[in-house]
Structure 1
Amino acid sequence: MTEWTILGAGALGCVMAGLLRQRGERVGFMLSARHRGHFHPSLDLITLGGRHELIQSRPRFPEQARQVECLLVFTKAYQVVDALKGLQELPTSTPIILFHNGLGVAEQVQELFPHNPLIAGVSSHGAMKEGDWLVRHTGKGDTWLGPMNQAANDWAHLVKPLAAALGHAEWRENIKLHQHRKLALNAVINPLTACHNIRNGQLLEPRFADVLEQLSEEVFQVMVNLGETESRDAFRRRLQQVIELTAVNYSSMHQDLAHGRSTENDYITGYILAHAGAQPVPVSSQLYREIKRRGG
């Protein structure tokens, strides 16, 4: 049985660890130097039903990289490359699965680890961090994996244990489609909620109707330019559904900006701007600049 090593003990990484452990899978957390010598506590997972469950996992440190059998990366997009640089002893046979928000990082990871199987992961599970080693699973979702290089094609079997733990996991050769669809949602919800300091559900208030429509149209058109075949109406329905399902949540960009942390602005809205071509994207541009101005 494979041990899943999780790099990035944020909300989603911790929830994934909890769900895997509940199915009897072996799980370890790759920890940074600041955790060395500290007591490694149990993870307190608040389930969808509101129960607290203590989840046991193994602490791992960079010098143990050779022992990593499968690496799931849940760090912020801007942290991925630096975090992986400390794992140069990772076996070339170890698959690396990237679950970060936004796009534009996989190419850099491929340069760092040219021989490792590189897999993209996309998940719509809801998760919220409520304290150190305390996370809440806020919603079930779909999970998709797909190859980013040739070596990854031998690892499609990983979806079977993931599906058992998460409720859904599928392998998709065209993983870029799922990446683009998740990015499109993030490019609407994240910057708007961050700039206006609101929960996701507040975007459906009448005062945001105009800007929500304009931004949605900008993002949709960029996605069409990138090969998206989803209709405008289908995208709008999907966006509304996600906003409603995550109504009480704060987006990750909102939380990063509110706590003075760097955001994934460059990998979400920045990706939209970089692929807009000649298409005008004034709302996206304004939101991008505003988040930069506030330190994100």
Structure 2
Amino acid sequence: MMNSTWHVLGTGAIGGLFACRLKDARATVVLCSRDAKVTEQSIVLRENDEPRSHRFTSEPVTAATPISHLLLTTKSYDAINAMNSVVHRFTKDTVIVAMMNGMAHVSSFPAIAPQSNVVFATTTAGCHRTGDEWIPAGNGQTLLGALDKNPTAPAWLATWQSAMPNVSWRIDIEQRLIEKVAINACINPLTAANNIRNGELLTPQYRPLLDQIIAEVQIILTAINETAMVMTLKSSVYRVISDTADNRSSMATDVQSKRKTEVDEIIGWLINRDAIHETKADLPLLHQLNESIKSIEPVR
């Protein structure tokens, strides 16, 4: 098994989790920092009520040394700026794994690094931060793939499969990313606007709103010719809610913490598809939630 060096840019909940998992799989992991004075960072991972500290070398994004493998796990609205901050370190052999919500970055990344190997990823692995600790909340499933639909998994995937369970290479990664956006659009804004946990969406108080937003997202999926997703969306949303009933969505956590949200990159991306403008579809709840959440988040 090839254990390569992985740089990680964006050590929030998911970035920190994957940095620890890759390090546990004996990969060399370097954290990228915007602070040139930081040379070392620690992440405390608490599992089974036992804290375990992982120490990492830290490099400034402005360093000149080439990056062989990059895991990018920033917020979606920071993704393009983050890529541009390290693009001078990419070579024709650099592998970039972009793991974040939304779809806005998907068309941009190959253009930013046309000489490199851009891979997209989505995960249902759970993790949240409490103080200085990262607390995993389920292994979930991690899907990776390239837009060229190359069916051959890269050699480095073996390290990921050693680091995390349920990691697979997919030729339909673009559809899986769209599906993740569709599911997030049904769950995250409603939980954020109402300050509730995911499971509360299945209660009589919120289920009618949930079903309405699912129906509106299905209209969008039909308009962009993702008809297979239309058939499975409701069952997928209900399953994710049941599997994560005690969790707070990332958007709900962001609103609660008075941080910027990814509502533009999730709902905004869906309602601004050309096909939606052409059909003039009526999507009242999606528009209401989009404006409501944008009105309470900090100015970007």
Residue number in structure 1 paired with 2:288? 286
Whether the 8 Å contact between 2:222 and 2:230 is mirrored in structure 1 is: no
1:65, distance to aligned residue in structure 2 (A): 5.1
* In the alignment, structure 1 residue 29 sits paired with structure 2 residue 31: yes
Whether the 8 Å contact between 1:147 and 1:153 is mirrored in structure 2 is: no
Tell me the distance in 2 between the aligned counterparts of 1:27 and 1:39. Answer: 13
**1:166-208 CA deviation, whole Å, 9 max, x = no partner?**
1122111221111011111110111101111111111111100
Q: Can you give the 5+ residue segments of structure 2 that lack an aligned partner in the other structure? A: none
* Aligned counterpart in structure 1 of residue 270 of structure 2, from 241, 256, 272: 272
1:30, distance to aligned residue in structure 2 (A): 0.7
1:226, distance to aligned residue in structure 2 (A): 2.8
Whether the 8 Å contact between 1:160 and 1:169 is mirrored in structure 2 is: no
* Aligned counterpart in structure 2 of residue 251 of structure 1, from 249, 252, 266: 249
* In the alignment, structure 1 residue 40 sits paired with structure 2 residue 30: no
| Residues 192 and 112 of structure 1, relative CA distance in 2, 3 Å threshold | same
**1:249-278 CA deviation, whole Å, 9 max, x = no partner?**
211111222222221111100011012342
**What is the DSSP-based 3-state SS (H/G/I as helix, E as strand, rest coil) of the residue aligned with 2:40?**
coil
Return the letter of the residue paired with 1:174: D
Tell me the distance in 2 between the aligned counterparts of 1:168 and 1:157. Answer: 17
* In the alignment, structure 1 residue 146 sits paired with structure 2 residue 148: no
Alignment length (residue pairs)? 291
Return the letter of the residue paired with 1:32: R
Q: Can you give the 5+ residue segments of structure 1 that lack an aligned partner in the other structure? A: none
| Residues 54 and 39 of structure 1, relative CA distance in 2, 3 Å threshold | same
RMSD: 2.1
**What is the DSSP-based 3-state SS (H/G/I as helix, E as strand, rest coil) of the residue aligned with 1:261?**
coil
Tell me the distance in 1 between the aligned counterparts of 2:124 and 2:115. Answer: 29
* Aligned counterpart in structure 2 of residue 214 of structure 1, from 209, 212, 215: 212
Matches within 5 A, 1:137-286: 137-148=136-147, 156-230=154-228, 234-275=232-273, 276-277=276-277, 278=279, 279-286=281-288
**1:148-168 CA deviation, whole Å, 9 max, x = no partner?**
359x88863332221111112
**1:8-29 CA deviation, whole Å, 9 max, x = no partner?**
0100111111111222221111
Matches within 5 A, 1:101-140: 101-132=101-132, 134-140=133-139
Whether the 8 Å contact between 1:144 and 1:171 is mirrored in structure 2 is: yes
**What is the DSSP-based 3-state SS (H/G/I as helix, E as strand, rest coil) of the residue aligned with 2:158?**
helix
Tell me the distance in 2 between the aligned counterparts of 1:265 and 1:231. Answer: 21
Tell me the distance in 2 between the aligned counterparts of 1:228 and 1:84. Answer: 29
Tell me the distance in 2 between the aligned counterparts of 1:234 and 1:88. Answer: 38
Tell me the distance in 2 between the aligned counterparts of 1:55 and 1:226. Answer: 44
Whether the 8 Å contact between 2:14 and 2:73 is mirrored in structure 1 is: yes
| Residues 88 and 233 of structure 1, relative CA distance in 2, 3 Å threshold | closer
Tell me the distance in 1 between the aligned counterparts of 2:25 and 2:84. Answer: 31
**1:218-251 CA deviation, whole Å, 9 max, x = no partner?**
1123223333344656322221221122222211
**1:33-52 CA deviation, whole Å, 9 max, x = no partner?**
2xx434734211122x3332
Tell me the distance in 2 between the aligned counterparts of 1:231 and 1:15. Answer: 29
Runs of 4+ in 1 over 6 A off after TM superposition: 152-155
Residue number in structure 2 paired with 1:57? 56
**What is the DSSP-based 3-state SS (H/G/I as helix, E as strand, rest coil) of the residue aligned with 1:206?**
coil
Percent of pairs with identical residues = 27
Tell me the distance in 2 between the aligned counterparts of 1:183 and 1:274. Answer: 13
